[in-house]
Structure 1
């Protein structure tokens, strides 16, 4: 298998006939002809240069379909003088708005620890969810119950793309609906079209032919872009600084500030760069593609902003934390009874957080039991920040009633003897 063939296999979910056709429709290409098995597009390379042609295969059952598609991709890669990966990114950008998150840290091989990558994706999802909630309900604060529209966006339209070179960069794609970007090459019912205008078609509201309907995915990405921009201005304390109340009214929300801080903390305090790339299939005047950069100094101010959000929301002193135990760290220096740190993943204040708590004795043993049996663990206390991480700092109380009942039922079912102390786990 040649290099081009391997690359085409890698990007086959992006470089489809339909997607390539939509991409050409937004560039300086014109549809020359369409037949049942192929579309032919022509590109004027400039004065004194020959015309370029590509033939996009549309019949997937044809024996030469793969070879023809490979030739099309190779020609486009040559015309634009870009790699197959860069071509895939440009093609995918026609069907989606892209959001790039870059962790600026030294790494000889461009990788990061798997656990850090998992936390990074969780934090990005938190930002996207908050932006979607606010988009669906401008009076919301980015937390709380999600509507069906928001759930559909998170489940169906939000995708993770190929990672890019340069420190560590994650690509998030908010897919547009086909009604907003026209028909593609492998749609046999597509009407004839010529040039860029057809692929830029935007659905119109019924009875309002002069006003475009903006795709929900685009609206979410716009909300996120503006929120990140004003959050950076508030945290940065630079010449364009805005006060807390103005920033909040302009789109800064607690979940987005939390997510930014979590990304930086998990990355060892590294700078976090974010950038958007807007599809040309929809109007994007006024939408910035300039990087939004959060420096370590700016991120150090995030905990105070989060606490101010909590105070303004009137959050009760004690917070219930219920969820799976995802981390245990025993304190080997502790004398006598067991003691250690427990990390729980839970929905707190409308967003998923990793919350730590220091426990000892039976409380710590029940955390081990919950982790071993993959059961939810319940603990409450005063929630705050410790070394940049969410932690239950005081008034900590473990509710082991569910685990005790579960253990009792399990012992009865297996015919074992009741433990001497029913309030203690028997198999930690």
Structure 2
């Protein structure tokens, strides 16, 4: 960044943000003139070298941009980072920031095909929604994910930043603290805001999902559910990796320095093609485990099975599951089976409610009830949808 051409950007930086960044990265305040200027010092542990920094606190003074640029350049030299990175870190000092870097051979100029880009952004949204849903509820599969607290979080709390060059990088920030807060460096878990809880769950779930993908066993994915791993999270990662020629997905987690996290919390994770493929298999394993209660199935009867002299029978309904047409097996009592037989004969759509579960053979609707033919005393506008007794908070 050429600071001489970025005076407007520098003036936008709030002095409280600059001071919060200094405090959070190990600088110590040793003198100040309230409302005018503050003086900071830092000693490098490895080299023993001492540094002094000056932070101007009045944005109306003529040389505010110049003095702030000098400070940011000093920080860049010490941290061995670019001016752009330092500027963003100071500006977002109260935020946790995630960088999702999609490496692929055709993205070296910082662009990717529009269709793949749309899929990547959708994957990023679903990744955050899966983490938000898993804060208070651990499930192998959340079904209709963008509802309740997960939907509110991705709509209001997670903010999309500017993309970065480096193959193709999606940045997402989540504010976890205000710069006016003077927080202790040891923050109790109970005091963490929901936004930070989501980020910690995201870090944990991605780390455990990666380990499960390395082991590549169904049990490893099942064990990961307790840490926030879900089919939705696995699908989100694989969705961002769709499209050839994908080489790697890198996840960088930058934690707000004014609300520090433990050193054990992940900061860098990578998923290559083999791990992505294994995550896809893991998603299938997890989907088998989670039944969906109060599932309303709408479709046409395409199969009838009943043993002689048996009052009940099993039908196959070609209906919608997650916007895809699937064959669902349903067991019905004698009277309902007769209605299903008539509906099959005339090709009429039917509706019923029960607990949807997937097994190795496909889908089955357990405890089916409220069976009927659409148009026979029912609205023809019924649409297949999932409803649950509980939504993620």
TM-score using structure 2 length: 0.63
Quote the offset at 1:278 in angstroms. Answer: 2.5
Residues 1:235 and 2:234 aligned together: no
Quote the offset at 1:108 in angstroms. Answer: 3.5
Residues 1:213 and 2:191 aligned together: yes
**Cα deviation code 1:329-372 (max 9, x no counterpart):** xxxxxxxxxxxxxxxxxx975xxx8x79xxxxxxxxxxxxxxxx
Aligned CA distance change for structure 1 residues 290 and 154 (closer, same or farther; 3 Å): closer
Q: Distance in 2 between matches of 1:303 and 1:317?
A: 27
Residues 1:105 and 2:104 aligned together: yes
- Does the 8 A contact of 2:104 with 2:246 survive in 1? no
**Cα deviation code 1:242-268 (max 9, x no counterpart):** 533223333211211111111111354
Residues 1:256 and 2:209 aligned together: no
- Does the 8 A contact of 2:103 with 2:168 survive in 1? yes
- 3-state DSSP class of the match of 2:203? helix
Q: Distance in 2 between matches of 1:244 and 1:312?
A: 11
1:311 is matched with 288
Which of 20, 28, 31 in structure 1 is aligned with 2:29? 31
What RMSD over aligned residues (CA atoms) do the two structures have, in Å? 4.0
Q: Distance in 1 between matches of 2:228 and 2:29?
A: 42
Residues 1:53 and 2:53 aligned together: yes
1:3 is matched with 2
Quote the offset at 1:223 in angstroms. Answer: 0.9
- Does the 8 A contact of 1:157 with 1:176 survive in 2? no
Q: Distance in 2 between matches of 1:123 and 1:12?
A: 35
Any stretches of 5+ residues in structure 2 without a counterpart?
A: 300-319, 326-357, 359-379, 382-393
Aligned CA distance change for structure 1 residues 271 and 29 (closer, same or farther; 3 Å): closer
Aligned CA distance change for structure 1 residues 20 and 297 (closer, same or farther; 3 Å): same
2:19 is matched with 21
- 3-state DSSP class of the match of 2:112? coil
1:95-134 superposed matches below 5 A: 95-106=94-105, 107-134=107-134
Quote the offset at 1:50 in angstroms. Answer: 6.6
- Which structure ranks higher in relative contact order (CA pairs < 8 Å, sequence separation ≥ 6)? 2
**Cα deviation code 1:146-204 (max 9, x no counterpart):** 677545532333123344443222222221122xx654xxxxxxxxxxxxxx5545777
Residues 1:273 and 2:250 aligned together: yes
Residues 1:161 and 2:161 aligned together: yes
- Does the 8 A contact of 1:278 with 1:284 survive in 2? yes
- 3-state DSSP class of the match of 1:292? strand
Which of 25, 38, 41 in structure 2 is aligned with 1:40? 38
Any stretches of 5+ residues in structure 1 without a counterpart?
A: 184-197, 205-210, 321-346, 357-383, 385-400, 403-428
Aligned CA distance change for structure 1 residues 90 and 235 (closer, same or farther; 3 Å): same
Q: Distance in 2 between matches of 1:235 and 1:291?
A: 16
Q: Distance in 2 between matches of 1:63 and 1:306?
A: 58
Quote the offset at 1:78 in angstroms. Answer: 4.3
* Number of equivalenced pairs: 305
